[in-house]
Each structure stands twice: as C-alpha cells, then as structure tokens.
Amino acid sequence: MRRFEREKKLINPPIFSGATWGARVLATIVICLLAAGASIADGKKHKVSKDLDAFADGHNGATVDVIIQFNETPTDAHHQKVHNKGGVLKTKLDVIKGAHYSVPVESLAYISPNRPLSGTSTSTLDFTRETVNAQVAWQQWGLDGTGVGVAVIDSGVTAVGDLYWWIPSNQTYGSRVVYSQNFVPGTTDTSDQYGHGTHVAGVIAGAGWFSTGSNFTHTFKGIAPNANIINLRVLDQNGAGTDSSVIAAIQTAISLKSTYNIRVINLSLGRQVYESYTVDPLCQAVEAAWNAGIVVVVAAGNQGRNDSAGTEGYGTIAVPGNDPYAITVGAMKTAGTPTPSDDTIASYSSKGPTAYDYVVKPDIVAPGNQVISTLAPNASLLSSPTDVYLTEYSSSSTTTTNSTGSGGNTKNNKKNSTSSLSTVTTNTISPSYMRLSGTSMATPVVSGAAVLLFQQNPNLTPDQVKARLMKTASKNFPAYSAVTDQTTGITYTDYYDIFTIGAGYLDIAAALSSNDLADASAVSPAAVFDPSTQSAYLVTGQGVVWGDSSPWATSLVWGTNVFVNGTAVLWGSSVCWGTSANDGFSVVWGTGVVWGDTSNQATSTALSILVGGEK
C-alpha cells in the first residue's frame, strides 16, 4: 500500500515501512485466486504495479497492505472472496471501485501498494497575494470566497485566529474550519501536528486578523479570506501518509460536496510516479472528484533540481499532479516585490512531461517561495528557517497578540477580542505566522483563485475554471534564469518552456475579467517526440477545448513563446530537445523513471530547500 508524505518532502525518494515493503513483494505474485471481478477494470492491463516487480520471490506467509481494484464497485461478496483468501478489509474505496486490504503475500490478484507521499513545501517579505492580483478581487469585485468550501487534504488544520470569521462591531466570532475528519491510523486527532496543513489553509483563506491594524506594515491574508475550510487530515505529525487515506479523504469530500458547498480540493502532497495515470488509484480518485464537479488543485513537486538521471529536473512531476484532469501548479519566486515582472521560477519546482504518459505539466505557476501564512501551535515544522519576526511586519516597538509568551512555539489558538490581547516586543518570533517554500505553497494560491471564480459564477464547471485560469495566466517570462545554491555552489539554470511554466503565471484579475467559457474538456494535452524531425509536438486529442482556432487556440492558452514560429512544435533549450544518444533525453521520452533510490543526493538538498526556500 503506497505511503504519502506532504508535498514538502516530495523530492525525496519514498521510504517504505515494513508493511509497505511487504506490499511491494506481494503484488508481484500475480496468482489470480480472486474472482474475475477482482482484476483491474481493463483485463488487458498489467495487473501488478511496476514498482512491485522487484519483489517477486519469497516472503511466503507475510501479509501486506494493498489497494485492490474491481470491474465494479465491490460488494460484500467481493470483500468475502478476499476474506476467504486470508485478506482483511481495512477501508472501502468505492470512489475508485476498490478497497484497502491487508492480504497474505501468496493470495494477491491485483496490485497497488500504498506508496509514500510527501508534502512539497520549501517562504523576506511575502508579496504572494499582490503578485497574483488578489487584491483586485477583494476591492473591485467584492469577492472573498464567502460561502465556498475548500477541502484541504493535508496534515490537518488547526483553527488559528486567522481562520475565524470576526465581526468587530459586536465582537462576535467563529471558526471557518467548518468540518474536520481524521484519516491517519491510530488517532482521532484532526489538528495539525506538523504545520503544513494550517499554513496551506491560511494561503487559501487566512483573514489576516493578526497582521491587520495601525501597528502593522503588511497584512498576510489568504487569496479567498472568507472561504470555509473542510479539514481532512491524512498526514501524520511527520508529514507522512498513505494512498488509501488520501483516496478515502477524496471520497469523503465528494460525499460532503453539497453539505459544505465544496468546489475545490487542495492536494499539496504527492509521491513518485510508478505507473500510467490511467491505472494509478490516486489519479482515479482525483478524476472521480473532478467528474463530481470539484476542481482538484495539485502540487507539481519539488524535484526540479533532480539531475540523478541526467534530465536536468525534467520528467519529475509527482502523483497525482501527473493526472491530466487536475490543475498542477509549479512554484515562482516573487523577488520580494509586489510586481510579477521580476519574478523567476524556483529551481526546485518540478518539470514535465509526466513519466509514462508525457502529459504537459505543470498547467500553471504561482508564488510558492518563502510564503508567509498561518502557523499551527507546536508544529514540528517550526524551526529557525521558518520563523517570521514581528519586526518584519510591524512598524512600532510593541504590538499585540494573544500569545502567552514570546517563543516560536507559543501560538494563537483562536480569535479573541483586542481587549484581551497582551503586548509583546517586536523583536520576538511571530506567534501567528511562519514561512514555508515549495509547490505546496503555490498550490493553495491557485485553489484560492478557483474559489473566487466559483463565488463570482457558481455555475462554472471544473473544466471552465481550469481553462480560464490557464488562458488568462501571464505569458511574460525571461528566456532563462539561473540561481546558485549558497551551500553547494551549484548553479541551476531554468528555461521557460512549456514543461517549466505551463500556460503561465496566475493572474486573478485577468481571470475574473474574462468571459470565456470552455465548452469541452480541459484535460492537459500530451507531448510527442518525433525522432524523424527531432522535434516535440503538442497533441491535444479529441473532444477537448484546446485547438487551432480562437478562443482556445494553443497559442493563446500557452502563449507563442513556447512554440517554434507559430507551429505546433515545442520550443526548448534543455535536455528535452537533445538527441536520443543523450541518457537524460532517453529517460524523459522513454520508459525510464527519473527519480533514483534513497542514495540520491537530491534527498538532503530537497529538505533544505523546503525549509529555507531559495534566494
């Protein structure tokens, strides 16, 4: 059974527990002891996930956790057949016509291990909101996310003060975390013990109460500062979780859609790609949510510096960001200014095309480096690199907070009236905010934008939201940018091709001003390399909105700079456009997988980037 960690750790190769290792062993023994209905939906498809193939021998008597998929939604009879072979039902996953079981190694018919997933965050004064023109939505359109629900599937969300609604005139307040449920085994706690989920929720819907007032020089609001949060905790205090937990949470979000008007799911997490999105159970869950009318926004991953296979970071999009339905988000750096003209891509931001399927990803980029947002009490992510000081956003020698002390772990738990706030000096660590970096942080920026579009027009479909955000994204980028890691001295050069920045840089004002409505699917296109011409082409497929004519011509959606002279040929100056003799080229366009084993040097580099960000 696959395990997850927050996208914050996505750039690390997955580390499997004993149970997970056993699952990989089991899945390779394709003895079809279950009924035919227990095979994958398409009987011609490979029944064992390829990452399990190395464990084909031995291990009799062991039990493992797996996800078994059926031709139809499994009934009690299906579960009984698994039980008859020694299996134990752990979680029903009807959304993917499957279930999570613990089974003996010698009894497997289908195969999907519960692989590790991680969060992808790696956040100087933060101008995230200004850069994407969120203030235009608040001031000109009067939009703040009111009435729209966002399911944050993450490490939990602690209802800190900025996630409360508050009416100053009568001092009434209440939490906008309107529903919470835990999916982490062994606990019922829905609070955020890690710190990632609360930070993500603040980027989406933080109200900025604890940085608003005459004493403050900067207010840290979310993109949709009055949206409601549905807290579905799937990651533990270390930011780790499993496929089955995430799928169960997505299934719950679908079931609660009408109750809480859930229009957006935020997935700032991911893991390595092991198979085509067409058979990956997590991707299937994402598509089920999309087809239920919920926009799913996913982090691209933080593997952009990974050159272990000679790909210069290409081909490193994580699951489920590899699914063509999802809106997959890469991370930009704001350069400490509110204008986007000087912004550059974060070198750690994962790049496409996706492994196995060559889907063009990411779809869009947004600010994700050194983002300041809400802080969960006593979270394990709290450390010196994540600290925000009161002097960074306060103009006076003292300011007020409801913290009981000045340390980094004395955090606010709820919104109180100003009369109860105590005074602390501004040279202390902020009790309300922390900074994180990564595509995990860029993802909720786009989720917030989707919320504003739904508030403006509740009749929009997920495809219309995705197409609108992509088409109206800014296409103004430099040809390339470079950054030198201050620790290693290594210089990373990024080219602004379609696999790095997708359709462009999020622009909320432009999206709200547009009236374009996609009348077909907005699934992300694929790229195909033609060895006879040594060129890569964009292939949009049938029944999709992208085409050669207005208003959804590919040159309008992705811009002209990523194509060669107005043709469908993709432009680039990287290994993706090398020769078949190049090892990295062969990995990107072949059947290889970019990410290496646990000895990959990207592991330690990734954690450093996630915590400290990139200058």
| 139 and 82 in a common domain | no
The predicted structure's pLDDT at residue 236: 92
| Top-confidence range, 13-22, 283-292, 414-423, 602-611 | 283-292
Asked whether residue 503 is domain-assigned, the answer is: yes
Give the residue-averaged pLDDT of 141-145: 97
- CB distance 338 to 476 below 8 Å: no
- 38 or 585, higher pLDDT: 585
DSSP tag of 424: E
Helix 243-255, helix 281-291: angle, nearest 10? 10
Q: Which helix (H) or strand (E) holds 204?
A: helix 196-205
Helix, strand, coil percentages (3-state) for the chain, rounded to 5, are 25, 25, 50
- 218 or 523, higher pLDDT: 523
| 144 and 124 in a common domain | yes
Q: Is 576 helix (H, G, I), strand (E, B) or coil?
A: helix
| Top-confidence range, 127-131, 344-348, 403-407, 414-418 | 344-348
The predicted structure's pLDDT at residue 592: 54
Asked whether residue 519 is domain-assigned, the answer is: yes
Asked whether residue 376 is domain-assigned, the answer is: yes
354: left (phi over 0), alpha (psi -120 to 50) or beta: beta
Q: What is the pLDDT of residues 354-378, one digit of tens each?
A: 999 999 999 999 999 999 999 998 8
Q: Point out the residues that are catalytic.
A: 154, 196, 440
The predicted structure's pLDDT at residue 146: 97
Q: Work out the pLDDT band at 125, boundaries 50, 70, 90.
A: low
Cβ-proximal residues to 237 (8 Å cutoff; 6+ apart), any chain? 155, 193, 194, 380
What percent of the chain has pLDDT above 90? 48
The predicted structure's pLDDT at residue 543: 84
Residue positions counted in the chain: 615
What are the φ/ψ torsions at residue 290 (nearest 5 degrees)? Answer: -60, -45
- CB distance 117 to 4 below 8 Å: yes
The predicted structure's pLDDT at residue 392: 86
Q: Kindly tell me the sign of the dihedral angle through the C-alpha atoms of 216, 222, 224, 228.
A: negative
Q: What is the pLDDT of residues 538-556, one digit of tens each?
A: 888 788 998 767 789 888 9
| 162 and 193 in a common domain | yes
Asked whether residue 8 is domain-assigned, the answer is: no
| 124 and 42 in a common domain | no
Helix 439-456, helix 196-205: angle, nearest 10? 40
| 387 and 264 in a common domain | yes
Could you tell me the CA-to-CA distances from 608 to 8, 76, 378 in Å, in that order? 10, 48, 21
**pLDDT at residue 187 tops 90:** yes
The predicted structure's pLDDT at residue 129: 87
| 126 and 73 in a common domain | no
Asked whether residue 279 is domain-assigned, the answer is: yes
Q: What is the pLDDT of residues 44-98, one digit of tens each?
A: 444 555 554 444 445 566 777 888 887 788 888 888 888 877 888 988 888 888 8
Among 600, 11, 4, 5, which residue's Cα sits nearest to residue 349?
A: 11
Tokens of residue 209, six digits? 């109460």
**pLDDT at residue 178 tops 80:** yes
The predicted structure's pLDDT at residue 599: 35
**153 strand-pairing partners:** 232
**pLDDT at residue 235 tops 90:** yes
Mean pLDDT, the chain, rounded, equals 79
**Pairing assessment for the beta strands 429-436 and 480-484 based on DSSP bridges:** unpaired
- CB distance 525 to 536 below 8 Å: no
Q: Work out the pLDDT band at 184, boundaries 50, 70, 90.
A: very high
| 201 and 96 in a common domain | no
- 466 or 114, higher pLDDT: 466
The predicted structure's pLDDT at residue 107: 55
| 158 and 98 in a common domain | no
Question: How many separate domains does the chain show?
Answer: 2
Which amino acid is it at 76? D
Structural domain for 279, as ranges: 117-615
Q: What is the pLDDT of residues 200-222, one digit of tens each?
A: 999 999 999 999 888 888 899 99
| 136 and 51 in a common domain | no
Asked whether residue 6 is domain-assigned, the answer is: no
Last-in-domain residue among 55, 79, 107: 107
- CB distance 339 to 345 below 8 Å: no
| 311 and 268 in a common domain | yes
Last-in-domain residue among 107, 128, 146: 107
- CB distance 9 to 607 below 8 Å: yes
CA 453/CA 264 separation, integer angstroms? 11
**pLDDT at residue 37 tops 50:** no
Q: Where are the alpha helices (DSSP H) in 334-493?
A: 439-456, 462-472
What percent of the chain has pLDDT above 70? 74
The Cα angle at residue 599 between residues 16 and 311, in degrees rounded to 5: 105
Cβ-proximal residues to 495 (8 Å cutoff; 6+ apart), any chain? 479, 480, 572, 573, 574
The predicted structure's pLDDT at residue 389: 86
Asked whether residue 2 is domain-assigned, the answer is: no
| Domain of residue 262, CATH code | 3.40.50.200
CA 39/CA 68 separation, integer angstroms? 8
Last-in-domain residue among 75, 107, 139: 107
The predicted structure's pLDDT at residue 196: 95
Asked whether residue 326 is domain-assigned, the answer is: yes
| 121 and 83 in a common domain | no
| 406 and 507 in a common domain | yes
